[in-house]
């Protein structure tokens, strides 16, 4: 058992005030010195990897190996921004009677609000550029998975930050989270979570025209063309649909497969789904742990039941695994559905569970139209052997990240974010740093001969 103090509006306000007091100290440090602190933070996170990863598996459910990778990835993000922060250079422009200097300066105090599916990694995407830019922050980890995120911030704070530069407040989104968004102290809101919550955050931030970044829900399509490398496509789809029990914003949610290869692809996906080892995430060799909560598992079951009622065919999974070892924990078998169509919730809503519905297509144009038939636009994937098809499909897909013959659209150096209802703004790369900077133009009159 572990516990955290539950904060509310007052605790959030106190934390914001601490961050405000620390801002002049941290923002006026040379970027080189801030970089050294971030490097030390990365070192401490790596040193405490096992302790943070253990907490992450115990509170979230993912296998220990995945938790360790998540913690190491967060350390890498800190290292990346230790360097990127040094590249915040200005511009100089010469006018006929003046000179213009353009600066990018830290916005001020940032509120960092994160979800439970990658509580450490997603927080690092905010903490690292925020600090590298010279901002201070108050973070609010997810209410049901606060431990690993808190230990991550503790490691960052131990690296030599001025007192009050890094803060954590625990508590419900509706009180502690809302105060972080509404308070006049926070100048920037970086939020990752559900689209519905993002809308509420955006509306509250509008009252003070705050700078916001929103990383919201997804409903990602995966297109398998007739000329695709089928074993690679099937392995890739299985991995991205089932890992972390499908509780990933860029998870594969809908598979569109060319008619002529549908049977072969489906057979391979089904056998991969059935071969994955489910169990306690603390045990070695386990590939899929339990789902995060009973609510998440119920929603997944409802989506599967809805699809079956509407004519889908159950090809794998669809229920809890049997056996004593699965009696505690929200386990669910990776599920493959055939004959899916767009009347089904699983094809339209974000299931956030390990379900891979398959629909056949006749032409690549049809596949792109089906892929875009959604209010979301976070990630989309295509597998094909043709460069021409790859480019045509990639340019036609409405999403912030397109994976061509690869099942991840995440690269620390590249922008990550959503189109349509999947978000606003970008994280990672130089775009992630810009999100914490304001532009200033200094115009200097020059004496004319």
Longest Cα–Cα distance in the chain = 90
Q: 64-84 and 49-60 helices cross at what angle (nearest 10)?
A: 120
Catalytic residue among 11, 59, 70, 215: 215
- What b/e readout covers 295-307, taking b as 16+ CB neighbours within 10 angstroms? ebbebbbebbeeb
Residue 40 or 182: the one with the smaller Cβ distance to ligand NAD is: 182
Give me the 229-258 binding string for ligand NAD, x by CB under 6 A, dash otherwise: --------------------x---------
The count of residues interacting with ligand NAD (CB under 6 A) is 30
* Residue 420 C-beta: closest distance to ligand NAD, Å: 12
Q: Is 274 a known active-site residue?
A: no
With CB atoms as reference, the residue minimizing the distance to ligand NAD is 173
The answer to whether 140 contacts ligand NAD (rule: CB under 6 A) is: yes
Residue 59's φ and ψ, nearest 5 degrees, are -90, -25
* Residue 139 C-beta: closest distance to ligand NAD, Å: 9
Kindly tell me which residue out of 216, 238, 359, 368 binds ligand NAD, with binding defined by CB under 6 A. 216
Closest CA to 276 of 315, 248, 229, 239: 239
* Residue 305 C-beta: closest distance to ligand NAD, Å: 21
Q: 150: which 2 tokens?
A: 């808190």
Q: How far is CA 173 from CA 11, 19, 198, 221, in A?
A: 13, 19, 11, 30
> By CB under 6 A, which span of 16-24, 101-109, 136-144, 308-316 interacts with ligand NAD?
136-144
Tell me the residue ranges of DSSP E strands in 4-97.
91-94
CB 217 within 8 A of CB 378: yes
The answer to whether 349 contacts ligand NAD (rule: CB under 6 A) is: no
The answer to whether 201 contacts ligand NAD (rule: CB under 6 A) is: yes
* Residue 375 C-beta: closest distance to ligand NAD, Å: 13
The answer to whether 290 contacts ligand NAD (rule: CB under 6 A) is: no
Residue 337's φ and ψ, nearest 5 degrees, are -120, 135
Q: How far is CA 80 from CA 44, 87, 202, 430, 433, in A?
A: 15, 11, 29, 10, 11
Kindly tell me which residue out of 29, 31, 103, 200 binds ligand NAD, with binding defined by CB under 6 A. 200
100 beta partners = 93, 443
**274 sits in which H/E element:** helix 262-275
Catalytic residue among 84, 249, 349, 427: 249
Report 364-403 residues binding ligand NAD (CB under 6 A): 378
Closest CA to 317 of 300, 296, 339: 300
CB 375 within 8 A of CB 199: no
The answer to whether 215 contacts ligand NAD (rule: CB under 6 A) is: yes
> By CB under 6 A, which span of 29-37, 116-124, 316-324, 428-436 interacts with ligand NAD?
116-124
Q: Is 215 a known active-site residue?
A: yes
Kindly tell me which residue out of 57, 67, 197, 220 binds ligand NAD, with binding defined by CB under 6 A. 197
Q: Which residues have a catalytic role annotated?
A: 215, 249
State the residues that interact with ligand NAD by CB under 6 A: 113-117, 122, 140, 142-143, 173-174, 177-178, 181, 192-194, 197, 200-201, 215-218, 249, 350, 352, 378, 418, 423
């Amino acid at each position: 058992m572990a516990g955290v103090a539950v904060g509310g509006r007052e605790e959030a306000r106190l934390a914001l005030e601490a961050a405000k007091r620390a801002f002049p100290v941290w923002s006026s440090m040379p970027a080189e010195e801030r970089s050294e602190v971030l490097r030390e933070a990365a070192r401490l996170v790596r040193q405490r990897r096992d302790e943070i990863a253990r907490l992450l598996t115990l509170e979230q459910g993912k296998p220990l190996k995945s938790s360790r990778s998540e913690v190491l990835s967060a350390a890498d993000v800190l290292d990346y921004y230790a360097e990127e922060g040094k590249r915040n250079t200005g511009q100089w422009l010469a006018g006929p009677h003046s000179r213009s200097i353009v600066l990018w300066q830290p916005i001020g105090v940032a509120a960092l609000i994160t979800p439970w599916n990658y509580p450490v990694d997603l927080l690092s995407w905010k903490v690292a550029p925020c600090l590298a830019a010279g901002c201070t922050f108050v973070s609010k980890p997810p209410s049901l998975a606060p431990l690993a995120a808190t230990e991550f911030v503790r490691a960052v704070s131990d690296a030599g930050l001025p007192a009050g530069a890094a803060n954590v407040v625990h508590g419900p989104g509706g009180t502690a989270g809302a105060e972080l968004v509404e308070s006049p102290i926070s100048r920037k809101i970086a939020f990752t979570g559900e689209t519905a919550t993002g809308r509420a955050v955006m509306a509250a931030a509008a009252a003070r025209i705050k700078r916001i970044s929103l990383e919201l829900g997804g409903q990602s399509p995966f297109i398998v063309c007739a000329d695709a490398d089928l074993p690679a496509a099937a392995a890739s789809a299985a991995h991205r649909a089932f890992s972390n029990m499908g509780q990933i914003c860029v998870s594969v949610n809908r598979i569109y497969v060319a008619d002529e290869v549908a049977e072969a692809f489906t057979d391979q996906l089904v056998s991969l789904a059935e071969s994955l080892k489910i169990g306690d995430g603390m045990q070695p060799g386990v590939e899929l742990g339990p789902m995060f909560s009973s609510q998440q598992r119920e929603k997944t079951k409802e989506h599967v039941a809805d699809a079956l009622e509407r004519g889908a065919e159950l090809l794998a999974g669809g229920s809890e695994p049997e056996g004593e070892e699965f009696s505690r924990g929200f386990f669910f078998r990776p599920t493959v559905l055939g004959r899916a169509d767009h009347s089904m919730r699983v094809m339209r809503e974000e299931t956030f569970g390990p379900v891979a519905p398959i629909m056949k297509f006749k032409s690549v144009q049809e596949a792109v139209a089906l892929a875009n038939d959604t209010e979301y636009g976070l990630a989309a994937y295509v597998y094909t052997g043709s460069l021409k098809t790859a480019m045509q499909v990639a340019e036609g897909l409405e999403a912030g990240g397109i994976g061509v013959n690869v099942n991840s659209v995440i690269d620390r150096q590249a922008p990550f974010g959503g189109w349509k209802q999947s978000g606003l703004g970008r994280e990672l790369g130089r775009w992630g740093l810009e999100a914490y900077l304001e532009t200033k133009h200094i115009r200097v009159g020059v004496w004319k001969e």
